[in-house]
Structure 1
């Protein structure tokens, strides 16, 4: 059960689509389906850092499934701070599903997302070295993750090709958020 609601999900608009790829990645044609049940543009296969795993369809082609959004929001919760939770911006699920599906297509097999950090309470965020004070993690609009079989550099390139809003490149993970479009940065010792 989701404990707290950050904003009204029914008022959020959907921006969906794939932007032309950059680099050496082959993107499928718009509307091309995934050959796997776990991975697709309308669903996610994801595991949080507590070890809980979920494969779920969150988008029906017209709208987000409210029950799926609740289940994913619970998976995103801050289990290190009393299971605090908020509704997660469903556009984040769309970004992650697009990244996951495109890289899985390149790998020829479904690749699970391993989420290192989802929602964080402000209290816990303040204890994390290098975390932004006004982090999108604290309002349910960010994820730090890895994609099995791909180094963070490749995940970053694909996310950039798909024009995700906020994108950070770090040595051991990739950060994606639904903040202002076009923000790009690299963690300490990394270059874009």
Structure 2
């Protein structure tokens, strides 16, 4: 992993910010165990799932209940960036806290590659949410599958150019990412994500949106599994 400790990156177009200016994050509250997280609430029905997706959902619930999500890959990420071909495999935290250089590297990876490579610090809670989902899918698949990041941080000016994008999108604050995964339908990520109640889960035709805003699921409470507008 190329360290960013000797490289600054831009935050919101305001100016260069070094690693030393990062908010101190040395210890995080642990995620709930799989048993505490439980299955998605009954208010989030997914009636449009195929039989294969229903089986996958059952496996995801079983995997979450059977183990502590902080083990078996939690705290690590395998990522590929669709826009520029970047890839990374990184261990970004332990039980005691986060590696600052790894958070910097992930924040740079999440940058807005379509707007001058501007970047913000990515909320570590988002990384934990994504890592929990990825490690759960790895437990089902039998090995880690890289998540393809299709959209990370967005600058306000680029967000305004995206049709249907929320004006106050969590992408603006480094608290969201859009993902897909090889060999699985994109919405498999969302089905696994619902088991953790980590924040927002949005289902789209070619990707799943994950964020650490309010607990919610869309479109229309996930009564339908695919959205054609909005994100």
Report the TM range for the smaller structure's normalisation: 0.7 to 0.9
Relative distance call for 1:178 and 1:9 in structure 2 (3 A) is farther
Size of the alignment, in residue pairs?
A: 185
- 1:30 corresponds to which of 52, 60, 68: 68
Q: How does 1:1-192 map to 2 (within 5 A)?
A: 1-4=8-11, 8=23, 10=25, 13-17=28-32, 18=34, 19-21=37-39, 23-25=57-59, 26-27=62-63, 28-30=66-68, 33-34=71-72, 40-49=73-82, 50-180=84-214, 182-186=215-219, 191-192=224-225
Q: Report the Cα offset of residue 148 of structure 1.
A: 1.9
Q: CA deviation at 1:86?
A: 0.4
- In structure 1, what is the Cα distance between the partners aligned to 2:58 and 2:99? 33
Q: CA RMSD in A?
A: 2.4
1: CA distance, partners of 2:178 / 2:26: 25
The question of whether the paired residues in 2 share the 8 Å contact of 1:118 and 1:143 is answered with yes
- Determine the structure 1 residue equivalent to 2:47: none
Describe the shift of the 1:129–1:12 C-alpha distance in structure 2 as closer, same or farther (beyond 3 A): farther
Shift of 1:141: 0.5
Residue 163 of structure 1 deviates from its aligned partner by 1.1
Residues 158 and 133 of structure 1: CA distance in aligned 2, closer, same or farther (over 3 Å): same
Alignment gaps of 5+ in structure 1: 35-39
Q: Can you give the 5+ residue segments of structure 2 that lack an aligned partner in the other structure?
A: 1-7, 12-16, 41-56, 226-231
Higher helix share: 2
- 1:15, 1:91 within 8 Å by CA — same for their partners in 2? no
- CA separation of 1:148/1:14 partners in 2, compared to 1, >3 Å: closer, same or farther? farther
Q: What TM-score comes out, normalization by structure 1 length?
A: 0.87
- Which whole-Å CA distance do the structure 2 matches of 1:139 and 1:7 have between them? 14
Q: Deviations over 1:14-57 (max 9, x none)?
A: 351331245412314116743xxxxx101000011211001001
The TM-score with structure 2 as length reference comes to 0.73
Displacement of 1:112 in angstroms is 0.4
How far apart are the structure 1 equivalents of 2:89 and 2:26? 25
